Amino acid sequence: MKKTHSMMKRLLVLPLLLGLAACGDKASNTIKIGATAGPHAQVVEAVAQEAEKQGIHVEVVTFSDYITPNAALADGTIDLNSYQHQPFLDNYNANNEKQLVSIGRSILMRMGIYSDQYRSVDALPVGATITIPNDPTNGGRALLLLEEAGVITLKPGLGDKATVYDVVENPKNLQFIEMDAAQLPRTLSDAAASVITMNYVMSSGLDPQKQGIYLEPKDAKLAVMVIAARAQDKDNPTYKKIVDIYHSPAVTDFIHHTFNGTIEPAL
């Protein structure tokens, strides 16, 4: 009887140990993807659901700022992140002596020129007031977009470092007012047009199809968000599968149906 009891204890312990081993194996095979709260995290959640169907367990790690996701990736706390464009990633590497790399494109968040009064940039009248962001990066980006749209010309070679003082041709004598980016959507009732980043388009409920009169091209380097990894992991086959899942029909359909044109798949 004693021998039988001992054997039963071993039989009960064995499944428990196997179960713990399986749980540990799943944890060790989990890919942690960092994203900022909001649309980026929503898309990663969709990616995680599709990855699970392919036997890849993804944990979404949400951040509330723009610096920590790269720091967490660099120190190995997470495996990938998805929330930034290539210039932002390059700047982080340069300022922190890190080697994070892009392994693929995730989504498009295009800056646009918006108007409640006019349906094209050609229709903007002489002397029209245009509101633009007052922070250096997005202010320069806005001016580049206005140049791309053909309404102004900037000094060459400045890129997104251009300021309103670098406008060399302004045939319509447009008047630029710089202000906090979050306030720009509210100016559409008074200004002829405003140049607005997509995050504030989304939070204010603007419709790119109805109020957008000119959007950044889909290959604009500041519009394309990337999936970042540590340099030594750039050829990881599972990470490459994650990139493929971002471009899968399931995830692209999710983006189209959820964001209604404010965010687009970066195919």
Residue 139 and residue 165: Cα distance in Å, rounded?
A: 12
Q: What is the structure's pLDDT at 135?
A: 85
Q: What does the chain come to in residues? A: 267
CATH for 171 = 3.40.190.10
If asked whether residues 128 and 211 sit together in one domain, one would say: yes
Strands 58-63 and 80-85, by their bridges, are unpaired
Helix (H, G, I), strand (E, B) or coil at 136: helix
Q: What is the structure's pLDDT at 259?
A: 92
If asked whether residues 41 and 71 sit together in one domain, one would say: yes
- 124 and 176 in contact (C-beta within 8 Å)? no
Q: Specify if 9 maps to a domain.
A: no
Which residues of the chain have a pLDDT value below 70? 1-28
If asked whether residues 99 and 182 sit together in one domain, one would say: no
If asked whether residues 164 and 182 sit together in one domain, one would say: yes
Q: What is the structure's pLDDT at 23?
A: 45
If asked whether residues 201 and 117 sit together in one domain, one would say: yes
If asked whether residues 185 and 116 sit together in one domain, one would say: yes
Q: Residue 94 is part of which domain span?
A: 29-109+222-265
- 255 and 264 in contact (C-beta within 8 Å)? yes
Residue 78 and residue 212: Cα distance in Å, rounded?
A: 36
If asked whether residues 116 and 247 sit together in one domain, one would say: no
Q: Specify if 141 maps to a domain.
A: yes
Q: Specify if 16 maps to a domain.
A: no
Q: What is the structure's pLDDT at 160?
A: 83
Q: What is the structure's pLDDT at 136?
A: 79
Residue 214 and residue 247: Cα distance in Å, rounded?
A: 25
Q: What is the structure's pLDDT at 80?
A: 98
Which residues lie below 8 Å from residue 198, measured CB to CB, with a gap of 6+?
A: 109, 110, 111, 112, 262, 263
Q: What is the structure's pLDDT at 28?
A: 55
If asked whether residues 229 and 208 sit together in one domain, one would say: no
Final residue of a structural domain among 215, 230, 246: 215
For residue 53, CA distances in Å to 3, 21, 202, 258 come to 45, 22, 30, 21
Q: What is the structure's pLDDT at 221?
A: 87
Which residues lie below 8 Å from residue 107, measured CB to CB, with a gap of 6+?
A: 39, 40, 43, 82, 225, 246, 255, 263, 264, 265, 266
Helix (H, G, I), strand (E, B) or coil at 156: coil
Q: Specify if 96 maps to a domain.
A: yes
If asked whether residues 187 and 238 sit together in one domain, one would say: no
Q: Specify if 92 maps to a domain.
A: yes
Output phi, psi for 154, to 5 deg.
Answer: -105, 160
Helices 237-246 and 249-259 pack at an angle, to 10 degrees, of 40
CA 216, distance to chain mean position in Å, is 15
Q: What is the structure's pLDDT at 8?
A: 44
Q: What is the structure's pLDDT at 15?
A: 46
If asked whether residues 141 and 94 sit together in one domain, one would say: no
Q: How many domains does the chain have?
A: 2
Whole-prediction pTM = 0.80
If asked whether residues 189 and 255 sit together in one domain, one would say: no
Average pLDDT, the chain: 90
If asked whether residues 161 and 211 sit together in one domain, one would say: yes
